Amino acid sequence: MNLARYRNARYRLSVHQQRQLPPDSGFEVAFAGRSNAGKSSAINTLCGQNGLAKTSRTPGRTQQIVVFDLDEHRRLMDLPGYGYAKVPADLQRHWQNLLDRYLRNRAALKGLVLVMDARHPLKPFDRHLLSWTNAALMPCHILMTKADKLNRQQQTSAIRETRDALPELVTNIDVTIQLFSALKKTGIPELEQQLDNWYQWDRTEQLNN
């Protein structure tokens, strides 16, 4: 693992419409999750930059697809938080349509990190995304955040219960799961290893030739 790969992440743009996305080439990994699941904090912790992905006490702050460049060929995509009741219904529909088109049609997308609060896993939106990844044969890594708020026994139980529920939701893909805490900065090496696999860093020379 090379930590600098993620520490070099830089904001590129925020996308409100499909046509605004960067050219569909290279390697992308998307982070998705319910509002206030800790998605932005996880991205900031991974990249070692507290202000990279905007965080807020108000759920639903991420209202666009936010694009971060890792290098010339690799991007990290912060998808809109979804499921917060106070967001107007028409805006929720717009987010949902944007997400659906992106997830279904994006050739550069190599994997999805599904961020879930370890205390409240597998909410309806989580299940919806898992069903989509199963249908699309899209690799998925479940990042169970805020693990510091659970004791060791509760952490073990959360992982086991989530893993036991997966056979009913996904049949075509393998889903990996890990605990993560932005506060304690635990779980970073496991997340980096998964992302390294998807980004195929060893192909940089091939892409440059």
- Per-residue pLDDT of 131-181, as tens digits, reads 888 988 999 999 999 999 999 999 999 999 999 999 999 999 889 999 999
Q: What is the pLDDT of residues 28-52, one digit of tens each?
A: 999 999 888 999 999 999 999 988 8
Widest CA span in the chain = 51
- The model's confidence at residue 205, banded by pLDDT at 50, 70 and 90, is very low
Q: Which residues share a beta bridge with 145?
A: 117
pLDDT of residue 119: 96
Tokens, residue 115:
């961020």
- The structure's pTM equals 0.90
Six-digit token string for 140: 């998925």
* Ordered domains of the chain (ranges, CATH): 4-204 (3.40.50.300)
